Chains A and B, each alone.
Chain A
């Protein structure tokens, strides 16, 4: 394309983006079409990728086409494999995209569609994508080293230790919080529970098919599994309508929690690969398909957003979770804007597959943009619901009341009209007994998704099928994260304990496997149990804790990146990572401080404990007080860890900037790329 035409095109994209952002930001008192969000995202992401990521590639990282990557130098056909950039992009996207970008925006929609959307747009372009991109490139230049190894080498021993603790903490809190989402989605839902239970025999059938009949044909097996899961969803309707079967699959939240804890332990400690590997493939297959389907559904339906741009809950009195727009909107949406967890993947498998340095831009920056697009779709799914319906689903009984009429009256009094009869009809339409108090984000997302799908494919008659398809998709995926996360946590604990006593570090020694699995499961199981027994739904305390720990991990990653950029002698460009780092420090430290010390009992852990201590002493109250104090200690511990890495990183940068230490980084020496030479002939 000729240059003048390109300039005109990019000016057009910028103007269209500005118009879309202005429309979503400035319209008040009238509903807007969801396509404005899509256009705003498309234009912002296109501009961010074209200009900002190119600037980072050229000036900050100086990507070198001539430099061989570890995939080329260390190629072994196992983990180091030079791979087509689009294939790596798909692989990386499949690893980073999870339930986070779906749940976070749904919860943050209590502030209205505007805060979450703007945070996703700006957070991704200037924060999340930058973090993923620079960590990926730095790992590539260090033979695919992990984030914790880079922290130890480039910042110091404390940095490495803190990064390790941050990673293990976030894994445990993440597993507890996401398990709670599954429990809330499946409690008293025979249809949903039946469908998820059926995925166990389906996975076994897939495993046998894969091993005995068609070795290695995973795609074909996943398609077979998908067909069987669709049949299970259809069968779930029968299960929910047959009294004797429905009784078996109607489970309370504590029962579901115990089953999930047992599942997590079995998945980590027992050799059940025949079940786990096919489930993993199946969940990835369903995830990629559903995201694609949701995107098509939104574009085909172009739904109207019923949620206002801003709600009255920007003041911090929201029923979904307590806390004002700053800082809580920014920790509620982590994945989708910036997620510390991505730094583990960007310094894990992906750097070992990249063929050329220049491809890190598309994979690191680009895949994160794709995930942010998923977050925008989740925001749309939540905001197409009537606000009254949204709050009825997402508000815990402890806030709006247990009885449907009372809950509906409370929500209507907030200015979001809803009736118990409307909610009853909606529950019937989606095949549930009730949709009141279904906290956690997953049911609200499923209703929104069912609304979009049923209006574009199949009509109202199949709304229940779409709803349970969405629930199955989220639950299946979260359960896969639970078993994979427990095993990753177990390996990390074994690695650490192996330094104390060698046999504990042996991944094949069964006593160590059982002990470390029990340790990891007990840790996240504690948080899950705490959430299940919490009278205000658990999400209010667990999701912010997860958001804080995830963003603190991003702070660690950005500390590592800023230190490396400074040591590369490019301190003048350090703002690229310092800007999101400064923002995250202010957000996470404010959120953590408020979660510990805020005088309002719905926000501050200690204030809540004090309130309970002042009431009549019961066993239940003592347990809740202990949980509050433990949450406060965990939050404080994470904060101290991050202060330590911030200090060590600042000192390291100061030593370089003041000339007390020679600039220099621990990169693998330059080796000329064979691929580059072949291309040049």
Chain B
């Protein structure tokens, strides 16, 4: 049961990383801000430039 829970946690963590939820959390920590429309808009501005330069494979 413990193993299963650990596995689910890892899958969820991977999904949060893939879907940039973790990046947003780190952004909030770095800025010592709380989640809000304004904070997310700022995160998107900062993050989109990074995302746009990432190649995606065929």
List residues of chain A with CB under 8 Å of any chain B CB: 77-79, 81, 83-84, 86-91, 94-100, 171, 174, 178, 210-212, 215-219, 222, 273, 277, 280-281, 284-285, 288, 334-335, 339, 341-342, 344-345, 348-349, 480-481, 484-485, 487-488, 491, 507, 546, 550
Docked complex Cα distance between A546 and B53 (Å)? 21
B14–A218 touching, CB < 8 Å: no
Please name the residue on chain B nearest to A281 by beta carbon. B19
B37–A83 touching, CB < 8 Å: no
Docked complex Cα distance between A98 and B58 (Å)? 5
Docked complex Cα distance between A133 and B57 (Å)? 16
What are 27 A-B pairs at a CB distance below 8 A? A78-B23, A78-B26, A81-B26, A86-B10, A90-B11, A211-B44, A212-B37, A216-B24, A218-B20, A218-B21, A218-B24, A219-B19, A222-B19, A273-B44, A280-B51, A281-B19, A335-B57, A341-B57, A345-B54, A480-B56, A484-B56, A485-B56, A488-B53, A488-B55, A491-B52, A507-B49, A546-B58
**Digit string of B22-38 for contact with A (CB within 8 Å is 1, else 0)?**
11111101100001110
Please tell me which one of the listed residues A79, A83, A216 contacts residue B21 in the complex, with CB atoms under 8 A apart: A216
With A211-B40, A211-B41 already in contact, the answer to whether A90 and B55 are too (CB < 8 A) is: no
Please name the residue on chain B nearest to A171 by beta carbon. B55
Q: Which 4 A-B pairs have the closest CB atoms?
A: A90-B14, A215-B40, A100-B58, A218-B19
Docked complex Cα distance between A95 and B55 (Å)? 8
Instruction: Check B50 for interface membership: any CB of A closer than 8 A.
Output: yes
With A98-B56, A335-B57 already in contact, the answer to whether A90 and B30 are too (CB < 8 A) is: no
Residues of B within 8 A of A100 (CB): 57-58
Residues of A within 8 A of B22 (CB): 87
Please tell me which one of the listed residues A215, A277, A285, A341 contacts residue B58 in the complex, with CB atoms under 8 A apart: A341
Please tell me which one of the listed residues B43, B44, B55 contacts residue A485 in the complex, with CB atoms under 8 A apart: B55
* B6 → A minimal CB distance (Å): 10
Residues of B within 8 A of A97 (CB): 57
Residues of A within 8 A of B17 (CB): 83, 87-88, 90-91
Residues of A within 8 A of B54 (CB): 95, 345, 348-349, 484, 488
B14–A86 touching, CB < 8 Å: yes
Docked complex Cα distance between A546 and B24 (Å)? 36
> Once A and B bind, how many residue pairs between them come within 8 Å at the CB atom?
125
Residues of A within 8 A of B20 (CB): 218, 281
Docked complex Cα distance between A212 and B26 (Å)? 20
* A123 → B minimal CB distance (Å): 16
A481–B56 touching, CB < 8 Å: yes
Please name the residue on chain B nearest to A101 by beta carbon. B58
B40–A345 touching, CB < 8 Å: no
Docked complex Cα distance between A178 and B57 (Å)? 11
Please tell me which one of the listed residues A171, A219, A491 contacts residue B15 in the complex, with CB atoms under 8 A apart: A219
B55–A344 touching, CB < 8 Å: yes
Residues of B within 8 A of A280 (CB): 51
Please tell me which one of the listed residues A79, A94, A212, A546 contacts residue B18 in the complex, with CB atoms under 8 A apart: A94
B44–A481 touching, CB < 8 Å: no
Known: A77-B27, A345-B54, A488-B54. 14 other contacts (CB 8 A): A78-B26, A84-B13, A87-B10, A88-B17, A89-B14, A90-B11, A219-B15, A219-B21, A222-B19, A281-B20, A284-B19, A334-B58, A348-B55, A484-B56
Residues of B within 8 A of A345 (CB): 54-55, 57
Residues of A within 8 A of B16 (CB): 219
* A118 → B minimal CB distance (Å): 22
Q: Which of A99, A215, A507 has the most CB of B within 10 A?
A: A215
Please name the residue on chain A nearest to B7 by beta carbon. A86
Please name the residue on chain B nearest to A221 by beta carbon. B19
B58–A178 touching, CB < 8 Å: yes
A77–B53 touching, CB < 8 Å: no
* A544 → B minimal CB distance (Å): 14
Docked complex Cα distance between A393 and B5 (Å)? 45
Please name the residue on chain A nearest to B49 by beta carbon. A507
Residues of B within 8 A of A171 (CB): 55
Residues of A within 8 A of B48 (CB): 273, 277
A215–B37 touching, CB < 8 Å: yes
Docked complex Cα distance between A273 and B39 (Å)? 16
Q: Which of A84, A87, A216, A480 has the most CB of B within 10 A?
A: A216
Residues of A within 8 A of B23 (CB): 78
Residues of B within 8 A of A335 (CB): 57-58
Docked complex Cα distance between A487 and B43 (Å)? 19
Residues of A within 8 A of B15 (CB): 90, 219
Please name the residue on chain A nearest to B28 by beta carbon. A216
Docked complex Cα distance between A609 and B25 (Å)? 57
B10–A339 touching, CB < 8 Å: no
Residues of A within 8 A of B53 (CB): 487-488, 491
Please tell me which one of the listed residues B11, B26, B36, B51 contacts residue A215 in the complex, with CB atoms under 8 A apart: B36
Docked complex Cα distance between A99 and B40 (Å)? 31
Docked complex Cα distance between A288 and B29 (Å)? 29
Docked complex Cα distance between A215 and B40 (Å)? 6
Residues of B within 8 A of A339 (CB): 57-58
* B14 → A minimal CB distance (Å): 3
Residues of A within 8 A of B14 (CB): 86-87, 89-91
B58–A487 touching, CB < 8 Å: no
Docked complex Cα distance between A629 and B41 (Å)? 48
* A260 → B minimal CB distance (Å): 16
Docked complex Cα distance between A178 and B30 (Å)? 39
With A77-B29, A215-B39 already in contact, the answer to whether A84 and B10 are too (CB < 8 A) is: yes
With A77-B30, A84-B10, A100-B57 already in contact, the answer to whether A91 and B52 are too (CB < 8 A) is: no
* A72 → B minimal CB distance (Å): 15
A79–B57 touching, CB < 8 Å: no
Docked complex Cα distance between A284 and B13 (Å)? 15
Please name the residue on chain B nearest to A273 by beta carbon. B48
Docked complex Cα distance between A212 and B37 (Å)? 6
A211–B57 touching, CB < 8 Å: no
Docked complex Cα distance between A438 and B25 (Å)? 45
* A101 → B minimal CB distance (Å): 9
Docked complex Cα distance between A281 and B47 (Å)? 14
Docked complex Cα distance between A291 and B14 (Å)? 16
Residues of B within 8 A of A481 (CB): 56, 58
Residues of A within 8 A of B49 (CB): 507
Please name the residue on chain B nearest to A335 by beta carbon. B58
Docked complex Cα distance between A335 and B56 (Å)? 12
Docked complex Cα distance between A349 and B23 (Å)? 13
Please name the residue on chain B nearest to A178 by beta carbon. B58
Residues of B within 8 A of A215 (CB): 35-37, 39-40
